[in-house]
Amino acid sequence: MNIGPYRFENAVFAAPMAGVSDAIFRRLAITYGASLAVCEMVSANAMLYESSKTRWRLKHLDDNTVRSVQIVGHDPFMMAQAARLNVDDGAQIIDINMGCPARKVCNKLAGSALLIDEPQVERILDAVVNAVNVPVTLKIRTGTNPRQRNGVRIAQIAQRCGIKAIAVHGRTRACRFKGDAEFDTIRQIKQAVALPVIANGDIDSATKAREVLDYTGADGVMIGRAGQGAPWIFEQITAYLNDKKIVGDPGVDERGQLLLSVLEQMYRLYGEYSGVRRARKHISWYTKGIKGSNEFRKNVNVVESSAQQFKMTDEFFKTQVAIARIAA
Ligand SMILES: Cc1cc2nc3c(=O)[nH]c(=O)nc-3n(C[C@H](O)[C@H](O)[C@H](O)COP(=O)(O)O)c2cc1C
């Protein structure tokens, strides 16, 4: 599938996730086969009046990948400005967030709250597309609430404005993360527009990715939560979509090595204080489901030094590897 001049052989995308899809997360996703990993959203406002959180979000490591930066906001002029600044800073794709239900964002009629105001959607898309000479993509939910699923009309507006691809999370704004994602609206959107459509929502395995692609006719899939602490899902999905090859989950040894390398990168990127705190959710994700991990998480989550956090994690996985060897 193409987004403007960029061709993606495997249309498996890593979703933007605020507080998660930082440079470290994105690099891992790409290493495991994601075609593109979108940055966490940055507010157009913050972009223009730079905050330190925004700087972290915009931090890019030396990747050999296409850099897609997501912006969120309600004012067409500011969104256009933010898009321009990001392109000047190296963004190769600008992604517009009209999918986020977070109150912090929606109070200002931004993110998915904008879906209710179709003329404003059009003004924003027009302004951003005309402001930059790189492809602009859009991420939406299926509508405002289950009685008002206007995703098809939004996609048609997007197409008219020159948006180059649209990612659709199969829930409405009102649904937040409740219930199951639905794929009927995504299928309707695919039938209604010619631009590439990327299906998103609850895709947590290679077989589910295949089913969603078959049902919706979408051009690609976008994976969010299932990639947290499990970057290998991108390899599993691409292998299955390409050759029907089943790739299993890595063993506890590989999982541990991967987590330790994430921790090291966290300390390097964010420093001692923030690195330790940000690392905690990764430790939770990577140890989820491992016997005895509840107790371990309780203990490691109160630790304040990177050296101690790293050592405890290392020891936990060494013990797990030994247990696995004895059991084998
Ligand atoms: C922690 C978290 C942060 C998110 N942040 C963003 C964001 O910054 N921009 C956005 O468009 N969507 C954001 N989302 C939504 C995801 O991109 C995705 O649409 C949603 O999680 C559904 O996909 P999934 O079921 O594969 O997780 C976020 C989701 C989560 C769980």
Q: Is 156 exposed, middle or buried (0-12, 13-18, 19+ CB in 10 A)?
A: middle
Ligand 1 nearest atom to the CA of residue 95, by list position: 11
Closest C-alpha residue for ligand 1 atom 3:
17
Ligand 1 nearest atom to the CA of residue 202, by list position: 25
Q: Which two tokens stand for residue 317?
A: 């996985």
CATH superfamily of 252-327: Putative flavin oxidoreducatase; domain 2 (1.10.1200.80)
CATH tag, 2-243? 3.20.20.70
- Predicted TM-score (pTM) of the model is 0.94
Identical fold, 2-243 and 252-327 = no
Ligand 1 centroid–CA 236 distance in Å is 20
Per-residue pLDDT of the chain (328 residues; tens, 9 = 90+): 999 999 998 899 999 999 999 999 999 999 999 999 998 888 777 655 565 556 555 666 556 789 999 999 999 999 999 999 999 988 999 999 998 776 655 456 678 788 889 999 999 999 999 999 999 999 999 998 899 999 999 999 999 999 999 999 999 988 889 999 999 999 999 999 999 999 999 999 999 999 999 999 999 999 999 999 999 999 999 999 999 999 999 999 999 999 999 999 999 999 999 999 999 999 999 999 998 899 999 999 999 999 999 999 999 999 999 998 888 8
Residue 106 appears among annotated catalytic residues: no
Domain ranges for the chain = 2-243, 252-327
Residues near ligand 1 (Cβ within 6 A):
15-20, 40-41, 70, 97, 99-100, 139, 169, 200-203, 223-226
With H, G, I as helix, E, B as strand and everything else as coil, classify residue 196.
coil
Ligand 1 centroid–CA 13 distance in Å is 12
Q: At which residue do the structure tokens 């490691």 appear?
A: 300
Q: Quick one: CA dihedral 283, 286, 289, 292, positive or negative?
A: negative
Ligand 1 centroid–CA 16 distance in Å is 6
Distance linking the first and last C-alpha atoms of the chain? 43
